[in-house]
Amino acid sequence: MQRARRFLSTSFGSAIGGGLVVAIAGLILVEAGVIDAGEESVALAPAPLTQPASENSTRGLTVNEIYDRNAGGVAFIKAQVTQTTQDPLGLLPRQQQGLASGSGFLIDPDGHVLTNAHVVEGANTVEVQLGEDGEPQDAEVVGTDPSSDLALLKIEDTKAAAPLPLGDSAKADVGDPVVAIGNPFGLDRTVTTGIVSAVQRQIQAPDGFSISDVIQTDAAINPGNSGGPLLDGSGRVIGINSQIASQGGGNEGVGFAVPIATAQDVVSQLLAGGEVKRAYIGITGGEISPEIAEALNLPVDQGVIVERVFDGGPADSAGIEGATGEATVGGETFPVGGDIITKVEGKEVTGMEDVISIANERKPGDELTLTVLHDGDEKEISVKLGERPATIRDAPASQQP
């Protein structure tokens, strides 16, 4: 049995700070860990760590050379988890033990291993195996960050492997060659190849918020690849393989990796205090296109219509106003009557993804200057960013429609 989440395309699907982004019509984002619970197998969704594929050396490495150099540092991760299931007779819920498996990789000589947060979510114990001849060993979960779907583990014995070199995910270009190494369906240290299919994608994190600057690849990624490395043509990690988009639950050449730049920031915070703090604006909004602008008689043909403002959030405190109604255009419903964001920090925005990306680069307490249109009048509003709630579901609902 597979567990999958379906994200339908919509013009409005962003809850910011960084918000929920729904971006792929009719596709299923499948978590890439495998849970075996008795006779059942449940597909989860995870991915690799990315680095710049474009900054290659004078001679790119062959796939065999990349594999020989890095496969030993790729981890096979098994997590004993407890699942709560509903009693078939509708009585009290019951707990069931299961085994989740995924991938990870060694990032330093001290034994720190990076993986996806969903690979170890709810784990009672975690076991890591490095190298072809490495023995399985218990791992400590140093910390997790559901907002980036990353987790940091710690093991004692690293003699069987060398840390993987890290690259620069910001320099990854469309068409660059990439290599993924992981444990799909429990088949340890499997290598697949492909290219960078797109950059600056956004995917939904386990806590409902969005992950920015994600790398898309057509390298085959399947359940069990979660947390494994995505490497550039020089064998450097540019991303963590985390999710796939699929109509059938298997690989269809659309995989997503969390950028290594994001991972490096998360790791530094986890090592410093075990907790990652993220900025939060507290709005949802939808993208304005020229067609929507014409149909709704809007004063601009690009920007973000503020749909919803979360009560007591930073945007609410700053006076940002959400929609007062809705209209139907081409069979779709759009908010009307709310503020229109045209710029953030003086940069024009074309949609909610732009606002999310800028917010995700800031810290709680930072201030963002938003240029907004309210009742046709342009004004600049300074928003002091708050600290993101644990999940998007914890954000209080706005009184606005």
Active-site annotation holds for 112: no
What would the two tokens of residue 169 be? Answer: 């995910």
Beta strands 255-259 and 47-50 are: parallel
Any idea how long the chain is? Answer: 401
Rounded CA-CA distance 282/388 in Å is 9
Q: What is the 3-state secondary structure (H, E, C) of 3-72?
A: CCEEECCCCEEEEECCCCCCCCCCEEEEECCEEEECCEEEECCCEEEECCCCCCCCCCCCHHHHHHHHHH
Active-site annotation holds for 226: yes
Catalytic residue among 14, 103, 112, 118: 118
- DSSP lists the bridge partners of residue 210 as 204
- Considering only CA atoms, give the Rg of the chain: 22
Catalytic residue among 14, 197, 226, 242: 226
- DSSP lists the bridge partners of residue 178 as 194
Using DSSP's 3-state secondary structure scheme, residue 75 falls into strand
Active-site annotation holds for 188: no
Catalytic residue among 145, 147, 149, 398: 149
Q: Is the peptide bond before 18 cis (omega within 30 degrees of 0)?
A: yes
DSSP-derived letter for residue 184 is G
Catalytic residues: 118, 149, 226
